[in-house]
Structure 1
Amino acid sequence: MSQVRNRNNTEKKVVSDEERLTDQQKKELADLKKVHPANEFGGIIGTFLLTFILPVVVYWIWASLEFNEGYLLRPAELSVEGIKAFFVNLYNIVMEHAYPTKQATIIYFSWFFFQAFLQHFVPGRKVLGSPLPGGKRLEYTLNGWASWWITMIAVPAAAYFGLFKATILYDNYGSMLTVVNIWSFVFTFLLKIQAKIQDDEERMSGHFFYDFWMGFARNPRIGSFDLKLFCEARPGLILWVLMNFSIAAKQYETYGFVSISTLLVCAFHAWYIADYYYHEEAILTTMDIITEKFGYMLVYGDLAWVPFTYCFQCYYLYKHLVAGAPIQITIAYALGVVALKCFGFYLFRWVNSQKHEFRRNPDHLIWGKKPDFILTKRGTKLLCSGFWGICRHLNYTGDIILSWAWCLPCLFDSPAPYFYGIYFTTLDLHRCWRDHNACLEKYGDDWRNYCKRVPYVFIPRIF
């Protein structure tokens, strides 16, 4: 009898929850189940190509760094035979030097599950994320700052006491890359299965490769464990920093010193990630968390692309020699790079902080004044004060400046270490375009009015 009563109460609660939804929220939920056009990232063909080309690009640049002193490998001649020979050579390098060994597999999954353990068990402040379609807000535990320091103490200590060599990540780079490439595909298929079982798929196009790339569910979870936030914020980002440190250790082992260029790059990247965790709550308002579905694009980006390509500057500084020694830069040049880095970081951090504070407290003063904003028909407020009244994406401008500052310690012998700057500039330009289209669809005339009030995107009076 009590079971029947409990079931009736549950049914009443469900009905009550549905009744509380506004017409707009009901429409948002209904729209998620509609078939969506496959019109981003080049559509079906573009996402198919990206899925398989990106791993090849990473192998290519890694092979160039490891086996060609940082000069990009290229076909001996631009002919069918020359291009074929180039890919055969790259394939042979991967099979010989990047085969997924048992050691590399143990290293990576020990790391992956160590970070999962920290995310799940380290205490942290609990906060609610941004409202999702239908008004739902998910709870998150913010323990990234503590987990960062636990890792930054535990891993170097383990190396110091001889549990493994400090160069272990560099020594197993190729094999680990292949392990993560395979895992990214497997993990994405598991996300597909989970979304299907839980009926959590949304905005599906009906085209396999497009949906595989874009994702299936927005916020897949195992209990309270958020899979997207974990992959976005933990194993890849911290592994990137540790990969840098391991390469620096290899440089020290080989030459007896760590160059100023390498020290700068290691410090820049560690500073950036430490700041990321210090402002961890701001992650919850990013496009990746609140808008993107979780598919191969984010899985591969988070687990493979970030740690295995963002370390290319350090990799280049170890492998590229000038007169038989690592690159050396002058103190004056180093100070100039630091100044550029600080300027870019100031823009990136404080522009993002203004928007984050405004979302938390719309009455928070900006530059000593009450914030000016546009109240949309959806009830959302579009900030038009402070940095956000100067340009629509000065945070991206700061991020782009940062990306090039990180490359400059490598000097200019090869384009390989500038991969990050080129990629990140392209990424932010493309993301800005996607943001604009998404906001135009979401806010309509309100967004057009905002663009009239804030006409510049990246650089005041220029662009």
Structure 2
Amino acid sequence: MEAPRVPRTTELEFGGTWGAACLTLLLPASTFYLLLVSRTAGASLLSLPPFPTFRSLWDPTDLGLVLAWIAAQALLAQAPLGKVTEGTPLRDKTRLQYRINGCHALGVTGVVLGAGLAGGLRLSYVYDHFLQLAFAATLVAFALSLILYLKALVAPQNALAPGGNSGNPIYDFFLGHELNPRIGSFDLKFFCELRPGLLGWAVINMGMLMKEAELRGSPSLAMVLVNGFQLLYVVDALWHEEAVLTTMDIQRDGFGFMLAFGDLAWVPFLYSLQGHFLVTHPHKVSLPAAAGIVLLNGLGYAIFRGANSQKNTFRRNPNDPRVAGLRTIPTATGRRLLVSGWWGLVRHPNYLGDLLMALAWSLPCGLTHALPYFYPIYFLLLLLHREARDERHCLRQYGLAWREYCRKVPFRILPYVY
């Protein structure tokens, strides 16, 4: 039987072709603008810092370091460690297999990094060459996106992404033309989703901590809080790596520039903006304030992890004792919608937890500058857009059942507010 063909994408997102073209240029430009502003004395978002030349950004050594980092993580991802699990059913009802060994990769990376530090590795090099490393990662993201698009042109038609099959090369390059591009059994999207960028984020934060220790004798409490909160997020993501298989990124989005740049450049170099900011703009956090921030991050994490674990457990096995007693709404597709537990509180409780944690990551930087709050502001806009995309998809997929769910759970992210 012939596999079902992916229909042409008719509903274009992000402003269509022009929006995709603008974002392809705007995202890298925004990254460097924010990094440059972070290093200025005033750290004002209204200032226009001097933009570096290509010669000052281009460093073959740093490009080699970025490529070596990605290659090392790719080898660890393919190592015969951990377990092999199946993803959700594809359009042709088949399931792809994925090796789940993120925690093993984290452990090996930590041991190697610790040995390097004991042997005199100067991790503050990351701060000193931050712009050059970010530029190298951007070049890699563009190159990978081009390879992915060209690969998709010769891929089977049923392997294309529902959202990136418009026929317009600019739009499909940005959104991702192929759903699950692979080299043999190596899944490129799954690998990039959590490994080089997420682990890179943790290493970059450590580099910022080491740079602050070099400059001031020891890392500040603010820097320790930022490192600790964000390391918890990274460890949690890798510990629950299998859960990413049920996310929108893996199930519905193609792998193009949007995800490639996000995974390889945006996440490691902008999500670490608070640590980068604190190197140049130290801030003293009192112990009572630190305790309050820790409690806020803990609350956000509890909501985030509880909601995501409940959803993933239910999607994989609705009869699991941990979720079997939850109330549900049947749909015409045969799937059921959770209408109690975390998902009976608001429609996207995981987003609420994410936003509370994002705020906690920025508060150690103080309240005198807006720059460290770029992440929670950006993340709020991202999640609002993502929530709208998810609402449209669920309405198309579940119809009247989704309307019934929305009636029973009227609030989207924040109870009694939105």
Q: TM-score, normalised by structure 1?
A: 0.86
1:287-344: CA deviations, max 9, x gaps?
A: 1111111110000000000001011100111101xxxxx2111000000000000000
Cα shift at 1:360: 2.3
Cα shift at 1:71: 2.9
For 1:189-208, what aligned pairs fall within 5 Å after superposition?
189-199=146-156, 200-203=159-162, 204-208=165-169
Partner of 2:98, secondary structure, is strand
Is 1:258 matched with 2:219? yes
- Aligned equivalents of 1:460, 1:224: Cα separation in 2: 43
For 1:36-185, what aligned pairs fall within 5 Å after superposition?
36-68=9-41, 70-72=43-45, 74-75=47-48, 89-90=50-51, 93-95=52-54, 97=56, 99-162=57-120, 164-185=121-142
- Aligned equivalents of 1:74, 1:239: Cα separation in 2: 29
1:10-57: CA deviations, max 9, x gaps?
A: xxxxx4xx5xxxxxxx7xx33x1x221252111111111111011111
- Aligned equivalents of 2:304, 2:333: Cα separation in 1: 28
Q: 1:428 aligns with which of 375, 383, 398?
A: 383
- Aligned equivalents of 1:112, 1:384: Cα separation in 2: 41
Gapped regions of structure 2 (runs ≥ 5): none
Residues paired across the two proteins, number: 414
Conserved 8 A contact 1:382-1:450: yes
Partner of 2:318, secondary structure, is coil
- Aligned equivalents of 1:327, 1:450: Cα separation in 2: 45
1:398 corresponds in structure 2 to: 353
Cα shift at 1:366: 4.9
CA 460–123 in structure 1, closer or farther in 2 if over 3 Å, else same: same
- Aligned equivalents of 2:179, 2:339: Cα separation in 1: 29
2:175 maps to a residue whose letter is M
1:114 maps to a residue whose letter is A
User: Sequence identity, in percent?
Assistant: 37
1:11 corresponds in structure 2 to: none
For 1:292-307, what aligned pairs fall within 5 Å after superposition?
292-307=253-268
1:187 maps to a residue whose letter is L
1:186 corresponds in structure 2 to: 143
- Aligned equivalents of 1:252, 1:59: Cα separation in 2: 25
Tell me which stretches of 4 or more aligned residues in structure 1 moved more than 4 Å: none
Cα shift at 1:202: 3.8
Is 1:240 matched with 2:195? no
Cα shift at 1:119: 0.1
The structure number with the bigger radius of gyration is 1
1:388-423: CA deviations, max 9, x gaps?
A: 112110110000111111000000121111111111
Partner of 1:458, secondary structure, is coil
Conserved 8 A contact 1:251-1:258: yes
2:313 corresponds in structure 1 to: 357
- Aligned equivalents of 1:221, 1:260: Cα separation in 2: 43
- Aligned equivalents of 1:279, 1:46: Cα separation in 2: 34
Conserved 8 A contact 2:37-2:47: no
1:232-274: CA deviations, max 9, x gaps?
A: 0100001001001001101111111100000000000111111
Gapped regions of structure 1 (runs ≥ 5): 1-14, 19-25, 76-85, 321-325
Is 1:228 matched with 2:189? yes
Conserved 8 A contact 1:156-1:166: no
- Aligned equivalents of 1:94, 1:414: Cα separation in 2: 27
1:454 corresponds in structure 2 to: 409
Partner of 2:39, secondary structure, is helix
Cα shift at 1:456: 1.5
Partner of 2:222, secondary structure, is helix
